[in-house]
Amino acid sequence: MKSDLLITGVSQLVTAEGAEAKHGRAMSALKVVNDAAMAVVDGRIAWVGRASDWTGDAGATVDVGGAAVVPGFIDPHTHAVWAGDRLADFEARAAGATYEEILAAGGGIRSTVKATAAATREELVALAKPRIDALMRSGATTIEVKSGYGFSIAGEIAMLEAIDVLAAGSRMRGGATLLATLLIHLPPVDAADRRGYVEQVCGELIPVAARRGLASAVDVFVEREAWNVDEAEQIFACAKQRGLRIKLHSDQFHSVGGVELGVRLGALSVDHLEATGEEQIVMLAGSKTIGTIVPGVSLHLGIPAAPGRKLIDAGAAVAVGTDLNPGSSPLYSSAAALALAVRMNGLTAQEALVAGTVNAACALGLVDRGRLEAGCVADFLVLDSGDWRDLIYTMGANPVREVWVGGRKVGA
């Protein structure tokens, strides 16, 4: 074989095998190749094996000096585009203020909506770029970014356009792949306006987003204080009609039927699950829908952690994301999200790596990444250690030394 690039000097090459989502016990099955090498052709992985088994020619060889190599992370859930900040909220909460008191003082999510609506598209792009860069440095080579702070049809389109500009810029620089999701986040404050907004979403927002290719999925926040199951189902019917995939913010504070709806409609994923009970766990485990957990939220807000251990024991496929956002998860590291999933949600190191790679890819409907196998995009990480477990063990320092996208080192 003639390859463009050969990566050698790999102490351990660690990957899940097969494009399908890993459920239950299959989440523990990783392939570890010691003293490995990996060949890349046209930005894709062409061969993986023990270095001593390589018999081809390589245009260039890069020796990573005894480091471990894992697939680039897929961050399947972020809100990386926003304006304003929630520093005053955080300070007030740390001093004992309640959620209601913070809202009454003009803080909370509505303050993010207001600041985001007031920002230009260029400002939103400039604010989001360093956040995307931080996620990428922490190992994320594919990042989902949601709209949802626009709070009006024009505001949501402006957010999707900002994500589109960010995605194009990242592509040009050889950085992470960005995937946009249209999030229908909070309903209008006045209950009388809810129906009209759903009609606008279905009649205008989704068709425009689909026609212009501004989103690949539609997400709805199903919660007592947000949208109910009937409204979400109406929105999802429109999304499906336009060929968009669906996902849900579900069971964050209360279990109000979001998981049931997601499973029934064949959603790619139901995300959050902090308030998910036994019944929903069984239902999810019996489905193809992925349960995406976001431990940063539990850490930051002090709410119960999603039952990651129970989900996997029941046979579900679990993914992990940062949920990077200003209000509930200012977590700028995809590697840290995996480390937290072990400590807070009871995953093993092996399960966390699968949750942040192949399962997270499946949560976005992607089959060509999240693994180091022939045919996949050559997105991989060179760790700052010869033992891949340092990835999950390390807290505070970045365990990722080099990020490679499409067979090229980022920033090189």
Return the number of the residue (274 or 323) whose C-beta is nearest Zn ion: 323
Query: What span, in angstroms and rounded, lies between the C-alpha atoms of 249 and 231?
Result: 14
Shortest gap between Cβ of 380 and Zn ion (angstroms)? 27
Return the number of the residue (71 or 321) whose C-beta is nearest Zn ion: 321
Shortest gap between Cβ of 29 and Zn ion (angstroms)? 29
Shortest gap between Cβ of 292 and Zn ion (angstroms)? 9
Return the number of the residue (68 or 273) whose C-beta is nearest Zn ion: 273
Strand partners, 40: 5, 45
Residue 36 φ/ψ, nearest 5 degrees: -95, 170
Shortest gap between Cβ of 218 and Zn ion (angstroms)? 14
H or E segment and range at residue 45: strand 44-50
Q: In b/e form, how buried is each residue of 124-143, taking b as 16+ CB within 10 angstroms? A: bbebbbebbbbbbbbbbbbb
How many residues in the shown chain lie near Zn ion by CB under 5 A?
Answer: 1
Return the number of the residue (9 or 327) whose C-beta is nearest Zn ion: 327
Return the number of the residue (23 or 249) whose C-beta is nearest Zn ion: 249
Return the number of the residue (89 or 323) whose C-beta is nearest Zn ion: 323
| Residue 263 Cα distances to 117, 153, 186, 233, 247, angstroms | 33, 28, 22, 12, 10
Extract the tokens encoding 110: 């509505």
Q: What is the DSSP letter of 198?
A: H
Return the number of the residue (156 or 323) whose C-beta is nearest Zn ion: 323
Shortest gap between Cβ of 180 and Zn ion (angstroms)? 14
* Number of neighbouring beta carbons within 10 Å of residue 254: 14
Task: Give the footprint of Zn ion on residues 311-330 (CB under 5 A).
Answer: 323
Shortest gap between Cβ of 157 and Zn ion (angstroms)? 20
Extract the tokens encoding 42: 């046209």
Extract the tokens encoding 316: 């579900």
What's the angle, vertex CA 18, arms to CA 141 and CA 312, rounded to 5?
85
Task: Give the footprint of Zn ion on residues 154-183 (CB under 5 A).
Answer: none
Strand partners, 48: 38
Q: In the complex, which residue's CB is closest to Zn ion?
A: 323
Helix, strand counts (H, E) of the chain: 16, 15
Task: Give the footprint of Zn ion on residues 89-148 (CB under 5 A).
Answer: none
Shortest gap between Cβ of 179 and Zn ion (angstroms)? 14
Beta strands in 216-295 (DSSP E): 217-222, 245-250, 269-272, 290-293
Return the number of the residue (292 or 350) whose C-beta is nearest Zn ion: 292
Q: By C-alpha distance, which of 179, 216, 162 is closest to 321? A: 179
Q: Is residue 75 a contact point for Zn ion (CB under 5 A)?
A: no
Shortest gap between Cβ of 325 and Zn ion (angstroms)? 6
Which residues form the interface with Zn ion (CB under 5 A)?
A: 323
